[in-house]
Amino acid sequence: MPNMPVVLDHDVGSVVYEHVRKMIEGLARRAVRMGYDEIEVTSAANYGFTIALRDYDQNKDFVRWVKFKVRRQLFDLKRRKGTKRLPLWTGNSDEFDLEFDPPDQTTEEPEPFDLTAQLVRMGDDARAWVSLVIDPPQSVLTTARELGWGTGEAANRASETAAYRQAVFTFLRESGWSNRRINRAYYEACEVLGG
């Protein structure tokens, strides 16, 4: 992938961009390797940088903030374009099926999510797990807060999610579920719900 265009006229944005340029280019290269258009990827990555620069909170690590915003823009690009992959290998050593081009899904409206229909597809344990997440008892909420969920003290959103998930796991263990049963229910729920 060629270098991303950068105009250096000694403004603050250009100097800051140079500080994170290699990271942004690396994230963009990964998306291009997955089969996305290089120009669209470069545009999305640079737009993510401008959003990060505009919305930066001084209390956060700048490089992580930029990485988060760039990844977010690349994820949005992937979501808009649907699942697009590299050309399929035909079996011959140097030949690829260059006709492979998944449909662009930007014009189709996604079907509304129907939780009830998804719950019907799950086993009883997975349904119980999901119900604890959606409508938790007070003990789950208390444990989650003790672990850092919803307090703003967690390092990032993933930490808050992990704290909540751990609270659900703790509740189920205290209810007599084995770790294996909890994990099976969790993975079944994730599989059915697409997460």
Average pLDDT for residues 113-126, to the nearest whole number? 85
pLDDT tens by residue, 14-66: 777 788 888 888 888 888 887 778 888 888 888 888 888 888 777 888 888 88
How far apart CA 57 and CA 63 sit, in angstroms, is: 12
Q: What angle do CA 87, 92, 94 make, to 5 degrees?
A: 65
How far apart CA 82 and CA 45 sit, in angstroms, is: 18
- Whether residue 7 has pLDDT greater than 60: no
- Whether residue 144 has pLDDT greater than 60: yes
Q: Give the highest mean pLDDT range of 68-82, 141-155, 162-176.
A: 162-176
Q: What angle do CA 34, 37, 38 make, to 5 degrees?
A: 95
**Whole-angstrom distance between the N-terminal and C-terminal Cα of the chain?**
31
Average pLDDT for residues 76-80, to the nearest whole number? 78
**pLDDT for the residue 174:** 92
**pLDDT for the residue 100:** 47
pTM here is 0.42
**pLDDT for the residue 88:** 45
**pLDDT for the residue 177:** 92
Task: Count the helices and strands in the chain (H runs, E runs).
Answer: 8, 2
**SS3 of residue 146 by DSSP:** helix
How far apart CA 150 and CA 142 sit, in angstroms, is: 10
**Domain boundaries of the chain, sorted by first residue:** 12-88, 115-193
How far apart CA 18 and CA 31 sit, in angstroms, is: 20
